[in-house]
Amino acid sequence: MIAVDAKAAKESLVTVCSTLGMRLDTRIVKEKMTARNGCMALCGTPWTQSFFETVRYLSEQEQERYCVFKSVELLYLLCTEVSESNGSLSGSGCPVSHSLLEVKAYIQTHLSDKLTIAFLCKQFSLSPTFLKEGFRRTYGMPIHSFLVQQRLRRAQELICTTRMPIQQIAQAVGYEGMSQFNAAFKREYGMTPGQYRKMSETATPRPF
């Protein structure tokens, strides 16, 4: 369970969101919590699986930073108005195929694997056309772009919250070569992974 003092956390939250370029409508979270008698539970989701797979390998100090980072991420997810579960609508207004939900979840929990269209089609018994076109319509981007996005976000997370060597992080998110990883990371964040780590280490800690 994670409890956050909203008033004490406000300044830190604004700073984090500004740094990450995020906008949060906490009104949505309040409405969701009110509808559920003040509490919510996530169980068996890609988010919870990823969290517990990572946190057990971290030191106590790294766990603290990781939990802060994941708390902000969780708040962002809770601020999303549209749920993908139970066949609800995607951001594009189209019903989300259960098979595409499975593909998305698989990608998010297997970022270190070599994921190709051919492999995913075989894994989920889908045609290449359905997978590529369906994924793009449902999630608003090509499946390859989504994979790159998720890998880089995961890399950013590990850079900020762990002391793992950059090369090990690159391998953990599916990059075999450092040059390819460095180039992709710089395109996304405007600096190399090493520069990003130095920036995160020199940032002034704030109570959260």
Tens of pLDDT along 19-35?
Answer: 666 666 777 777 777 77
pLDDT tens digits, one per residue of 88-124 = 434 444 444 578 888 998 999 999 999 999 999 998 8
Contacts of residue 104, defined as CB under 8 A and 6 or more positions apart, other chains included, come to 46, 135, 139, 146
pLDDT at 84 over 50: no
How much is the pLDDT for 154? 94
Q: Let me know: does 193 contact 182? Beta carbons within 8 Å.
A: yes
Give the orientation angle of helix 128-139 with respect to helix 98-109, to 10 degrees: 80
* CA pair distance 170, 174, nearest whole angstrom: 6
CA–CA gap between residue 63 and residue 192 (Å, rounded): 24
Residue 86, pLDDT > 90, answer no
- Confidence check: pLDDT of 78 > 90: no
CA-nearest of 21, 140, 145 to 72 is 21
- Cβ neighbors of 133 (< 8 A, separation 6 or more) are none
Q: Which residue has the higher pLDDT, 84 or 35?
A: 35
Q: Would you state the pLDDT for residue 158?
A: 93
Closest CA to 66 of 181, 202, 192, 164: 164
- Give the pLDDT score at 3: 61
Name the residue with higher pLDDT: 185 or 32.
185
- For 179, the enclosing helix (H) or strand (E) is helix 178-189
